[in-house]
Structures are given as structure tokens and as C-alpha cells.
Copies of this chain bind each other. A is one copy, B any other.
């Protein structure tokens, strides 16, 4: 699918505020509201726009700790973990990765006791390494046009 300058502008607007009305987006990009609706629908249909999510503050709802946890699965324990992980509600993101570890997870936790309990659940599946997140330098940075990326190179 070809993403022209107008669609990049729409993607940019939606990545900054997904709850903008089509009319508001139209004003930003110089299009009528039906035209915006049509372009958004096409990008949804092509899978360019996968969905729209609200960013909820972890700390404001009682999760004081965030951690990146890696797992190096024991022999025969990766598959059981892959089945089980979807039940771990603390896991916000979970990726299969190359390298010494098989899995990396981004996890939200209420406190140290919660962290300890969570690690206890993991250690039956493999070797666990825990990295507490101290601060977020970049969070969900919007994706922009390729050409803009090229310009930032050295």
C-alpha cells in the first residue's frame, strides 16, 4: 500500500491523539471529513492502522514498579511458558528474541513483594534476569515518514 504525504499526516495526527474527530484531522491535513474517514478505513483494511489504545498511567493505578525480565528457558520448558504467559496479567509486552535469552517481557508490578512473587512463578520455566526500569527516556515514540528518518542519520 502506498502511503502518501496526506496519509503520513493522518498517521501522525492519530499517533499523537487517536481520539481526534475526523473533522479535526481533516482541518490539520486539508481534507474533508468523509475523505479522512475513507483514508483511515483503507489504512485499517490494509493493516497499516492496527488499532487505537489509551495510555493508562501504571503508577496512578497502583503499579509502582516496572521491569524488563528475560527468560532463558530450561530444556522442554519454553513451550509450557508460551502457553502460560498469556495468563500473566502483569506482562504488558512479551517478545521471543534471538541471543542467549529466549524471551523478554515488560512487566508492571505493585511492589517488591509482587515482583518476588512474579519471579517465583517464572523460575520454574528457566533462568530469569530482572532489570528494574528506572525511567522512561522514550515511550511509544510515533513512527514517522521514512524520509524523515533518513535525514537524522549522522
Contact = CB atoms under 8 A, between A and B. Distances in A.
Interface residues of A, number: 73
Most buried by B among A11, A46, A134, A140: A140
Interface in A76-129: 82, 85-99, 101, 103-105, 108, 110, 117, 121, 129
Contact of A52 (B46, B53, B58, B146): B53
Most buried by B among A92, A132, A141: A141
A121 B134 CA distance: 24
A5 interface: no
Contacts of A68: 95, 97, 104
B138 A85 contact: yes
Contacts of A55: 49-53
A92 B149 contact: no
A91 to B, nearest CB: 5
